[in-house]
Amino acid sequence: MGRQGGYGGATVEQVPSIDINELRRAGYIGAPPTNWWVHRINLIRAGIKLQECNEKAITLDNQILHITHLPWHYGGQRAYFLCDGGRTVGKLCAPFGYPWRCRHCYGLTYATRQAAPQYRLILKAQRVREQLGGDLGVANAFPEKPKGMHWQRYNRLRAVHDQAVGSSLAMLRPYIERAISDMSDFRGAVQAKGRGQRARRRA
């Protein structure tokens, strides 16, 4: 099956999607982790309700999604979706009620690829916060470690988040300083105009 065509610049983040890693964390594939129920609830909240599931396929929205297992460079094997378009992928999308396919079939891209570099970094930081179950505001307190997550992984995610935010602010600094300078110039011009009008009225 070939590419279905673009969808007005839509991104993967704007359409329903299912990630094979979320299925693994939710205990649908492989050995279930200790906190599988947390991820299963998250899938249900996102509208992902599996009708059937085993190591070779899942049934979602009356569509059978095939799964394959390939060798992983860290050892063992890792599960992937077999898209009907012929690709082996970790995520499938279903834009606007269409069947589940990989993003390539629908011409979807990621929001980070459409954003300017400084905002791309903010989106990267927001993905970390979302992964930890926190709010997306990068100026707010960093989310606490989810129950069941190893501290090593949590600290690694925090380092990724902090580096992305710091780099983004460094790139945005010239724009912020220019905006402050423009506001100061505008305020000075308004004040000067007001003084001139008052002087004319007194005359």
Task: Provide the whole-model pTM.
Answer: 0.57
pLDDT at 160: 93
Residue 40 in this model has a pLDDT that exceeds 70: yes
Which helix (H) or strand (E) covers residue 130, if one does?
Answer: helix 117-131
pLDDT cut 70: percent of the chain above it: 79
| Minimum mean pLDDT range among 78-82, 104-108, 174-178 | 174-178
Residue 8 in this model has a pLDDT that exceeds 50: no
SS3 126: helix
Task: Tell me the β-bridge partners of 101.
Answer: 93
Residue 157 in this model has a pLDDT that exceeds 70: yes
Residue 117 in this model has a pLDDT that exceeds 80: no
Sequence spans of domains, the chain: 12-110, 115-182
Q: How far apart are CA 91 and CA 105, in angstroms?
A: 12
